[in-house]
Structure 1
Amino acid sequence: MSTELHEKGRVDGKMSADDVTLGLLREARETVRSSPLGVINTPMIPWCQTTLPLSVSCNVQIKLENMQKTGSFKIRGVANQFARRPKGGRFVTMSAGNYGKSFAYASKHYGSMGKVVMPETAPESRSVLIQSFGVEVERVPTSCLMNVVNRCVHEDNMSFLHSYDDLDLIAGHASLGMEVLEAMPEPDVVAVCCGGGGLLAGVAAAIKLSGRDKTRIYGVEPEGACTMYKSFIEKKPVAMDTKSIASGLAPPFAGRLPYELCQRYAEEIVLVSDEEIKAAVSTLYGSGLVVEPSGSAAFAAIVNNKIPELEGKNVVCILSGGNVGKDELGDFPD
Structure 2
Amino acid sequence: MDEVSADAVTLDLLRGARETVRASPLGVIQTPMISWSQTTLPLSISCDVHIKLENLQRTGSFKIRGVANQFARRPSGGHFVTMSAGNYGKSFAYALKHYGSKGKVVMPETAPESRSILIKSFGAEVERVPTSGLMEVVQRCVREENMTFLHSYDDLDLIAGHASLGLELLEQVPEPDVVVVCCGGGGLLAGVASAIKLSGCNKTRIYGVEPEGACTMYTSFREDKPVWMDAKSVASGLAPPSAGRLPYELCRRFVERIVLVSDGEIKEAVSTLYKAGLVVEPSGTAAFAAVVNGKIPDLEGRRVVCILSGGNIGKDELVTFPG
Please say whether Structure 1 and Structure 2 have the same fold, judged by a TM-score greater than 0.5: yes
Q: What residue in structure 2 maps to residue 7 of structure 1?
A: none
Q: How does 1:53-202 map to 2 (within 5 A)?
A: 53-202=42-191
- Aligned-pair CA distance for 1:156: 0.4
For 2:159, give the aligned amino acid: I
Give the secondary-structure state (helix, strand or coil) at the position aligned to 2:180.
strand
Between the aligned partners of 2:211 and 2:320, the Cα distance in structure 1 is 17
Q: What residue in structure 2 maps to residue 228 of structure 1?
A: 217
- Flag as ranges the 4+ runs of structure 1 deviating above 4 A: none
1:295 maps to 2:284: yes
Decide which of 31, 37, 40 is 2:29's aligned counterpart.
40
Give the secondary-structure state (helix, strand or coil) at the position aligned to 1:172.
helix
Decide which of 212, 237, 255 is 1:266's aligned counterpart.
255
1:324 maps to 2:313: yes
Give the secondary-structure state (helix, strand or coil) at the position aligned to 1:56.
coil
Between the aligned partners of 1:206 and 1:161, the Cα distance in structure 2 is 22
Q: What residue in structure 1 maps to residue 9 of structure 2?
A: 20
Q: What residue in structure 2 maps to residue 207 of structure 1?
A: 196
- Aligned-pair CA distance for 1:78: 0.1
Give the secondary-structure state (helix, strand or coil) at the position aligned to 1:117.
strand
For 2:88, give the aligned amino acid: Y
Give the secondary-structure state (helix, strand or coil) at the position aligned to 1:102.
helix
Structure 1: gaps spanning 5 or more residues: 1-11
Give the secondary-structure state (helix, strand or coil) at the position aligned to 1:317.
strand
The alignment's C-alpha RMSD in Å is 0.4
Between the aligned partners of 1:37 and 1:75, the Cα distance in structure 2 is 8
Give the secondary-structure state (helix, strand or coil) at the position aligned to 1:206.
helix
Give the secondary-structure state (helix, strand or coil) at the position aligned to 1:178.
helix
- Aligned-pair CA distance for 1:13: 1.5
Between the aligned partners of 1:91 and 1:62, the Cα distance in structure 2 is 34
Between the aligned partners of 1:224 and 1:75, the Cα distance in structure 2 is 26
Give the secondary-structure state (helix, strand or coil) at the position aligned to 1:52.
coil
Give the secondary-structure state (helix, strand or coil) at the position aligned to 1:243.
coil
Deviation sequence 1:133-187 (CA, Å, 0-9, x none): 1100000000000000000000000000000000000000000000110011110
Q: What residue in structure 2 maps to residue 3 of structure 1?
A: none
Between the aligned partners of 1:77 and 1:38, the Cα distance in structure 2 is 13
Output the TM-score relative to the length of structure 2: 1.00
Deviation sequence 1:47-76 (CA, Å, 0-9, x none): 011000000100000000000000000000
Give the secondary-structure state (helix, strand or coil) at the position aligned to 1:61.
strand
Between the aligned partners of 2:169 and 2:294, the Cα distance in structure 1 is 22
Output the TM-score relative to the length of structure 1: 0.96
For 2:41, give the aligned amino acid: L
- Aligned-pair CA distance for 1:259: 0.1
- Aligned-pair CA distance for 1:14: 1.4
1:49 maps to 2:38: yes
1:279 maps to 2:268: yes
Between the aligned partners of 1:176 and 1:107, the Cα distance in structure 2 is 22
Deviation sequence 1:258-312 (CA, Å, 0-9, x none): 0000000000000000000000000000000000000000000000000000000
1:314 maps to 2:307: no
For 2:315, give the aligned amino acid: K
